[in-house]
């Protein structure tokens, strides 16, 4: 579990982005939610302020707010520069430019950092990582995983993906994973089809759902998985 902060690249997303990435209905937002691999996203802070019930987990939460803030400052310029370098890989619509992207991401991360210390104390931010999570069976209604599974298909093998989705469905009645593309690639992750095949054979209900969000070009689908009944 021990992490080296210098290897982590924090990059936060907002509640509005989560709602569109995961097609979250008002009923979904009122349920018990786990945000897995959440990093410095402001989803927890914003939804908690609205009275929602959400726990975020990520290995980065072993570090203090000051340590994470410093790492954000160190990596932020390279993330914006990377978006400029790979400009053609993104849809510049709601997010208008790499500079605008930087402002949106920084705003989300600042909301996270303002909430982080209180959230740690309240148990809303937990140090944990896939494929084994420290939560009870069916502890949550919905588990979300953004920009981790499938995104790093070149680093994480199929078996890791299968174990991770099973684990998300152990602790929640439904898991949603977004996006289905590897980083800077077009087309579904090579792990997607075999993962769906294996889980479906074991009685999981798997569905690829089009969503009203696309920033990475072609990244407008999520995987929805429900555990066997």
The pLDDT tens digits of the residues spanning 165-189 come to 999 999 999 999 999 999 878 899 9
**Residue 185 is encoded by which pair of tokens?**
């690639």
CA angle 111, 115, 11 (to 5 degrees): 45
The pTM is what? 0.95
Q: What's domain 5-226's architecture?
A: 3-Layer(aba) Sandwich (3.40)
Could you please report the per-residue DSSP string of 101-157?
HHHHHHHHHHHHHHHHHHHHHHTSEE--BTTB-S--TT-EEEEEEESSTTTTTTTS-
Whole-angstrom distance, CA of residue 60 vs CA of residue 181? 23
| Domain ranges for the chain | 5-226
**2 pLDDT higher than 60:** no
pLDDT digits (tens, 9 = 90+) for 12-64: 999 999 999 999 999 999 999 999 999 999 999 999 999 999 999 999 999 99
pLDDT of residue 3: 60
Mean pLDDT value across the chain: 95
Task: State yes or no: pLDDT of 6 exceeds 90.
Answer: no
Structure tokens at 133: 């999570």
Tell me: pLDDT of 211 over 70. yes
Residues 197-206 have a mean pLDDT of 98
User: Are 149 and 80 within 8 A, CB to CB?
Assistant: no
Closest CA to 30 of 54, 52, 55, 46: 52
- Classified as helix, coil or strand, 36 is strand
The encoded tokens of residue 135 equal 């939560």
Res 5: pLDDT: 76
Q: Is the link from the previous residue into 179 a cis peptide, with omega within 30 of 0?
A: yes
Task: Examine the pLDDT at 105 and tell me if it is beyond 80.
Answer: yes
What pLDDT is stored for residue 186 in this prediction?
82
């Amino acid at each position: 579990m021990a992490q080296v902060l210098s290897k982590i690249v924090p990059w936060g997303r907002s509640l509005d982005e989560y709602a569109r990435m995961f097609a979250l209905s008002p009923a979904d937002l009122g349920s018990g939610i786990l945000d897995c691999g959440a990093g410095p996203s402001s989803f927890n802070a914003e939804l908690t302020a609205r009275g929602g019930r959400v726990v975020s987990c990520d290995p980065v939460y072993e570090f203090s707010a000051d340590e994470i803030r410093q790492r954000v400052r160190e990596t932020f310029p390279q993330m914006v520069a990377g978006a400029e370098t790979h400009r053609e890989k993104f849809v510049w619509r709601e997010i208008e430019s790499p500079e605008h992207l930087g402002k949106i991401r920084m705003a989300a991360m600042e909301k996270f950092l303002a909430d982080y210390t209180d959230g740690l104390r309240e148990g809303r931010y937990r140090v944990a990582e896939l494929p084994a999570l420290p939560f009870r069976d069916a502890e949550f209604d919905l588990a979300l995983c953004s920009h981790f599974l499938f995104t790093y298909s070149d680093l994480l093998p199929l078996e890791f993906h299968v174990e991770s989705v099973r684990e998300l469905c152990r602790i929640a009645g439904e898991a949603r994973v977004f996006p289905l593309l590897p980083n800077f690639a077009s087309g579904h992750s090579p792990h997607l089809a075999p993962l769906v095949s294996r889980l479906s054979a074991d009685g999981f209900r798997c569905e690829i759902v089009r969503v009203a969000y696309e920033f990475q070009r072609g990244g407008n689908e999520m995987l929805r998985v429900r555990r066997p009944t």
